[in-house]
Amino acid sequence: MELKAGESILKYNSADQTVTMEGSMRLANLMEYDKVSVFLNDAATQASDRLTLDMTKLNFLNSSGITTLSMFILATKKKQNPKLNILGTALFAWQEKSLKNFNKLWNEVEISIQ
């Protein structure tokens, strides 16, 4: 399963239940991020107990994108399934600074920053 979103690509690998996000995701508004929400929700539906979001190759994510991911986390929290892992990297300041917010939305979100 694959989605092109602006200058980024999202791919879902069902074998390891991982969504990888690569490139730069700076879409104009929440409406443009709807397709990303749908993609993530589809991946969450397919994953059994745990879904990993690998952002280590996502150079940029704007605040609308962070809001979209945040709302996805809240929706998943409401269902309590799947649990979420987020992989990030300290190479990108936005990840080092902002990924921790996702754990504040739902304390079951495990965040690993390389």
Partner 1 sequence: MMQEIILGDYDLIPDTIPSEGELHLRVKPIDMVTYWRRCGAVANFIANFYRNPQDEIYHLNENLISTTFNELIENAAKYSTKRDSDIDISLKLYNTILKMEVENICSHKHMEAFQKSMEKIIDSDNDELDNFYLNKIEAKHAGDKDSGIGLLMLKKDYSLQLSAKITPIEGEVYRISVHAYYNMSIE
Binding-site ranges for partner 1 (CB under 8 A): 6-7, 24, 26-30, 59-60, 62-64, 66-67, 70-71, 74-75, 91-94, 97-98, 101, 104-105
What distance in Å separates the CA atoms of residue 54 and residue 22, rounded to the nearest whole number?
9
Q: Shortest Cβ distance from residue 38 to partner 1 (Å)?
A: 16
Q: Shortest Cβ distance from residue 94 to partner 1 (Å)?
A: 5
What distance in Å separates the CA atoms of residue 31 and residue 91, rounded to the nearest whole number?
29
Residue 22 half-sphere exposure toward CB, CA atoms < 13 A: 7
Q: Shortest Cβ distance from residue 99 to partner 1 (Å)?
A: 9
Q: Which is nearer to partner 1, 9 or 30 (CB)?
A: 30
Q: Residue 22 is encoded by which pair of tokens?
A: 């690569």
Q: Shortest Cβ distance from residue 70 to partner 1 (Å)?
A: 5
Q: Which is nearer to partner 1, 13 or 63 (CB)?
A: 63
Spatial CA neighbour of 14 closest among 62, 82, 76: 82
Q: Which is nearer to partner 1, 39 or 72 (CB)?
A: 72
What distance in Å separates the CA atoms of residue 20 and residue 84, rounded to the nearest whole number?
13
